[in-house]
């Protein structure tokens, strides 16, 4: 979490400095097709509700969170519906580097986040000629690997899977020119559920879920 807060502070300082340097000269970013490249601090949360076979409901629940850096490419289209209001759609792919190791009693679970991809819709407003804010909503697919076993034995459950979740967030765009703009964005994807293969000892199934939150800083180039 400390890495994520440091990233957010650095991004805020950089955005504030660039705003002061460019506010007098920059023009609004052009409508049309654009490409986007960015770096993100992504917090990966992995929850386990362990089934011990003792109760009808899961008897042990844990949450483990780790923050890592990811890289993202996007392709989008932006269009103003009024002089100040605009909409945009964007498809993206992110190379992720997140991993967690959870201990739930004697159950050990390792989760490796390989990639995320999906699409968003953006609804924004030009606050000034060169600065805009927007909200976003969309779908994110999460590609991951999961190894689960007991602390006293090698992993017994291996899973490679891709699951989808609803994403929402907000962001800001600072135009440096008609073609180039800076992007700062905060995104949340909650409650991506998955079920590992049944426990080979007792055939018990443990419910798992993934939560993602990320702060990204990037550059858009409009054609």
Decide: residue 205, CB within 10 A, 0-12 exposed, 13-18 middle, 19+ buried: middle
Residue range(s) defining the domain that contains residue 8: 2-222
Closest-CA residue to 135 (of 187, 175, 94, 180): 187
Q: What confidence score (pLDDT) does residue 25 get?
A: 44
Sign of CA dihedral 124, 125, 126, 131: negative
Q: What confidence score (pLDDT) does residue 148 get?
A: 79
Higher-scoring residue by pLDDT: 207, 222: 222
| Eight-state DSSP code of residue 49 | E
What is the tally of helices (H) and strands (E) in the chain?
Answer: 1, 9
Q: What confidence score (pLDDT) does residue 43 get?
A: 93
Neighbours of 142 (CB within 10 A): 24
Please state the rounded mean pLDDT for residues 48-66: 72
Q: What confidence score (pLDDT) does residue 151 get?
A: 76
Q: What confidence score (pLDDT) does residue 116 get?
A: 96
Q: What confidence score (pLDDT) does residue 14 get?
A: 46
Residue pair 193/162 in contact by the 8 Å Cβ criterion? no
- Tens-place pLDDT, residues 60-82: 778 888 899 999 999 999 999 99
CATH number of the domain enclosing 63:
2.40.160.20
Q: How far apart are CA 77 and CA 31, in angstroms?
A: 7
> What's the chain's length in residues?
223
pLDDT at 2 over 80: no
Q: CA angle, 94 as apex, 68 and 98 as ends, to 5°?
A: 25
Number of domains into which the chain is organized? 1
**pLDDT bucket at 158, cuts 50 / 70 / 90:** confident
Higher-scoring residue by pLDDT: 147, 95: 95
Higher-scoring residue by pLDDT: 151, 119: 119
| Percentage of residues in the chain having pLDDT higher than 90 | 54
Q: CA angle, 172 as apex, 36 and 87 as ends, to 5°?
A: 75
Q: What confidence score (pLDDT) does residue 22 get?
A: 43
Q: What confidence score (pLDDT) does residue 12 get?
A: 47
CA distance to 15, 214, 221, per residue, from 28 (Å) = 16, 26, 12
**pLDDT bucket at 54, cuts 50 / 70 / 90:** low
């Amino acid at each position: 979490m400390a890495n994520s807060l440091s990233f957010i502070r650095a991004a805020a300082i950089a955005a504030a400095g660039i705003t002061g340097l460019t506010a007098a000269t920059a023009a609004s970013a052009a409508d049309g097709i654009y490409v986007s490249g960015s770096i993100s601090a992504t917090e990966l949360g992995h929850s386990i509700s362990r089934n011990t076979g003792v109760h009808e409901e899961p008897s042990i629940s844990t949450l483990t969170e780790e923050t890592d850096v990811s890289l993202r490419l996007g392709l989008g289209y932006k269009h103003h519906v009024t002089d100040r209001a605009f909409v945009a759609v964007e498809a993206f792919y992110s190379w992720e580097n997140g991993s967690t190791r959870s201990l739930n009693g004697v159950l050990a679970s390792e989760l490796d986040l390989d990639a995320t991809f999906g699409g968003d819709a953006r609804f924004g407003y030009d606050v000034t000629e060169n600065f805009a804010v927007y909200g976003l909503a969309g779908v994110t697919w999460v590609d991951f690997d999961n190894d689960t076993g007991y602390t006293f034995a090698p992993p017994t459950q291996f899973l490679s899977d891709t699951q989808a979740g609803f994403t929402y967030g907000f962001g800001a765009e600072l135009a440096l020119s008609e073609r180039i703009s800076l992007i700062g964005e905060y995104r949340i994807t909650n409650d991506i559920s998955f079920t590992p293969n049944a426990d080979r000892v007792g055939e018990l199934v443990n419910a798992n879920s993934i939560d993602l939150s990320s702060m990204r800083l990037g550059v858009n180039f409009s054609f």
